[in-house]
Amino acid sequence: MSKLADIVTEFEASVSADMDDQALKQLRAAYLGRNGAIAAFRSTVDFASLSPEERAALGKELNEATARIEAGIAAAKDKDGPTSNAPAVDFDTTLPPMTSGIGAIHPITAAQMEIEDIFRGMGFRTYNGEEAVTEFKNFDALNIPADHPARDMQDTFWLENGMVLRTHTSSMQNEAMRDFGVPVRAIFPGRCYRNEATDATHENTFYQLEGLYIDEGVTVANLIAVMKELLDQVFGRDVKVRLRPGYFPFVEPGFELDFWTEINGKWRWLELMPCGMVHREVLKHAGVDPDRYSGFAFGLGLTRLAMLKFGVQDARLFNKGSLSFARQFTATL
């Protein structure tokens, strides 16, 4: 059987990494082809005369010899490395995918998703809301007097059917208390409208996220804690907050919530959201006993938060549908 070993030795002496594909093809034919050295060797063997054990042993040797020749040719083809690391494919696997590009989620949505997650952790449900609402829901139910300037044409979009485009997500308070009953912890994200001229910080279409928490014995201390927890989560640090007096007809007392932050390299208080203890008239309008229940509400400006969080300077960009803007906010959520 040393004849087979000789063939392999002879092959290994003649194969070389310098050979081009054509030469390797010819070499392969000379050894493994129909008239090659291996086939010639096989034709010299009388298999019928061999015992089964001998036949098996010879078969194994033939396979090994063939494999060594195949491997030698493959190694010569692969100029850069040993045969065992040869790639299984002949295309460039370092290319990026080019099927559909990278998608994006609107920054307002991204902010909303995050706040929803944070509040869910604190036991708040998320509630849907309508954008075209009755005057009652937007104003009366919130203790906003009939002659309040907010109801004027220059502030509110009135609809021909007598409704209004909601000017704040507070329009959901009444419905939420009626639908869920009390106690209730809920947030209502959504689009709001105000009839005003637009500039970099004013938009007639903007986004808020209202929060409402009604239970027995809810305190101002609770409100501060929940607001602080929200901001700690959003900004990923121990955020310093403060309340100061603010006036909104649907809360009493009403507050402006500021947080301590760095703006252009300088630390200062920044006004972030109005909030307050829900006014007894608002509770009464929703059929809730104000002498038994108390609670707080807050109106987080999603547009404002997205501007802060994503460094957007112009509120009008959010509704513009500009691709160059939208594509910056890759879908990481």
Partner 1 sequence: MKISLNWISDFVDVSGISPEEFGDRITIHTAEVDEIEEQVVETARIAAVRVTDVTKLDLPDRPGLTAVTLETGEGPARTVCGAPNVRAGMIALAAFPGATLSMGKSVESGEIAGHPSEVMLCSAKELGLWDNHEIIVELPTSVAPGTGLADLIQPRDTLLEIDNKSLTHRPDLWGQYGFARELAAILSRDLAPLPVSDALDAAGLPQVDIAVDAPDVVPFFSAAGLRVPQARVAPLTMRHRLGLVSSPSRDILVDVSNYVQFELGQPSHCFDARIVPSLRVDRVGAARQFTSLDDETHEVAAEDLMIFSGDEPVGLAGVIGGANSRIAPDTQDVTLECANFDGTRIRRTAARLGIRTDASQRYEKKLPVAFADQAPGRIFKLLQDAVPETEATAQRTILRRDATEPRRIHVAAGAMTRRAGADIPDAQSQGLLRSIGFGCEDARDGYTVTVPEFRGEADITTWEDLSEEVMRLFGYHNITPEMPGPQIGTPDFNIRIRGQHRARRILSQSYGFAEVKTYGWHSKDWLSKLGFERRHAPLTIVNPRGSDTADMRDTLIPNLLMVANENRRQAQAFRVYEIGKVFWIEAGEKVEFNRLAGLMVNQRKKASARDSFFELRRALEDIAVAANHPGFDAWHIAAEDREGPWQDGSAVALRIGDRTIGTMGVLPQKLVKTCLDAGHAIWFEIDIDEMATDLYPAHQHRADTPFPGSRQDFTFSWPVAEGYSKLHAVLAAYENPLLADWRLTDAFHKPGEAKANYTFYFHVQRPDRTVTSDDIAEFRADLLRYLEERKVESLST
Annotated binding site for Mg(2+): 252
Considering only residues 4-63, where is the footprint of partner 1 by CB under 8 A?
Answer: none
Burial 268-307 (b: 16+ CB within 10 A, else e): eeeebbbbbbbbbbbbebbebeeeebbbbbbbbbbbbbbb
∠ CA 151-153-159, rounded to 5°: 90
Quick check: 270 binds partner 1 (CB under 8 A)?
A: no
Q: Which stretch binds partner 1 (CB under 8 A): 36-44, 50-58, 275-283, 305-313?
A: 275-283
Quick check: 154 binds partner 1 (CB under 8 A)?
A: yes
Q: Which stretch binds partner 1 (CB under 8 A): 22-30, 31-39, 144-152, 307-315?
A: 144-152
Q: Which stretch binds partner 1 (CB under 8 A): 17-25, 48-56, 78-86, 276-284?
A: 276-284
Query: From the list 52, 87, 96, 217, which residue makes contact with partner 1 (rule: CB under 8 A)?
Result: 217
Q: Which helix (H) or strand (E) holds 319?
A: none
Quick check: 250 binds partner 1 (CB under 8 A)?
A: no
Considering only residues 303-332, where is the footprint of partner 1 by CB under 8 A?
Answer: 318-319, 321-324, 326-327, 331
Closest to 286 in 3D by CA, of 148, 143, 174, 161: 174
Quick check: 236 binds partner 1 (CB under 8 A)?
A: no
Residue 44 CA to residue 167 CA, distance in Å, equals: 98
Quick check: 183 binds partner 1 (CB under 8 A)?
A: yes
Quick check: 135 binds partner 1 (CB under 8 A)?
A: no
Tokens standing for residue 119: 């509040």
The least distance separating partner 1 from the CB of residue 219, rounded to whole angstroms, comes to 3
Quick check: 226 binds partner 1 (CB under 8 A)?
A: yes
Strand bridging mode 184-193 / 125-126: parallel
Q: Mask 84-113, x = binds partner 1 (CB under 8 A)? A: ---------------xxxxxxxx-xx---x
Task: Decide: helix, strand or coil at residue 305.
Answer: helix
Residue 236 or 321 having the CB closest to partner 1 = 321
Query: From the list 153, 236, 238, 262, which residue makes contact with partner 1 (rule: CB under 8 A)?
Result: 153
- For residue 76, CA distances in Å to 24, 50, 69, 139, 209 come to 8, 36, 11, 84, 68
What are the two backbone dihedrals, phi and then psi, of residue 180, each rounded to the nearest 5 degrees? -95, -20
Residue 13 CA to residue 23 CA, distance in Å, equals: 14
